[in-house]
Chains A and B, each alone.
Chain A
Amino acid sequence: MGTLHTVNKSPFQNQTLLSCLAHAKDGDAILMIEDGVYGAASGTSVSEALTSNGADVALYVLGADLAARGIDAGRMADGVTSVDYEGFVDLAADHDRVQNWL
């Protein structure tokens, strides 16, 4: 079922998250990890692009990387679900392929 995309860079540093959003298809999932988690917050210059990307794409963020950076889970943009490492493995197993956006 679709592709799991991972993004590990801050969207305030480069265009990778936006490029990923532009190539994700209905049924895909995007998981923000490492510095990618900065893209998951609400009220930023990218949160609109994240939550209104048009395609039916599920949005996830790795909780451990949020916690490490002191980002409150309550600050997540609408529709972003926090997962633990086990959830990361489940997402990888539940999709047809994983595409890492470096």
Chain B
Amino acid sequence: MSEVKKFLYVNRKAPYGTIYAQESLEVVLIGAAFDQDVSLAFLDDGVFQLTKGQDTKEIGLKNFSATYRALGDYEVTKLYVEKESLTERGLTLDDLQNIEYEDEDDDYAEKPSIRLVSRAEMADVMADQDVVLSF
């Protein structure tokens, strides 16, 4: 078998205005079948993808925000969110969905998938990858 590589999906765009956010999610779900070490990064307008209370009924687009809460079932459990990007947009962690995964190594305890990081820590996360895919 091939070795496991570290993949980072970088999300920097708001949902709905362009197709990038939804396409990123599609690729993450497809990629999850390949048993790699997957992380997601949310920075700049990408933090808007994770907000609570999205309702797309009147714009004729699929509301894909609930899909982020299903990522844990595909063993995608590391969602890095940049604190400065939230602050610049008047948001805090409380404005984001509660996204959890079940830790199979800890009696399936529910744990938060979102990891709040500083801009400098986000740079470290990016520098620690084998492959970086941007959306």
Query: Which residues in A have some Cβ–Cβ distance to B below 8 Å?
Result: 2-3, 15-16, 19, 22-25, 28, 97-102
Contacts and interface: CB of A to CB of B under 8 A. Distances in A.
Contacts of A23: 43, 119, 122-123, 126
Contacts of B10: 99
Interface in B8-41: 10, 12-13, 20
Nearest to A18: B44
Contacts of A3: 126-127, 132
11 contacts: A19-B43, A24-B123, A97-B129, A97-B132, A98-B132, A99-B10, A99-B132, A101-B134, A102-B13, A102-B20, A102-B135
A63 B119 CA distance: 31
Contacts, number: 39
Interface residues of B, number: 18
In the A-B complex, the 5 residue pairs with the smallest Cβ-Cβ separation, listed nearest first, are A99-B132, A23-B123, A100-B134, A102-B134, A19-B44
Contacts of A22: 119, 123
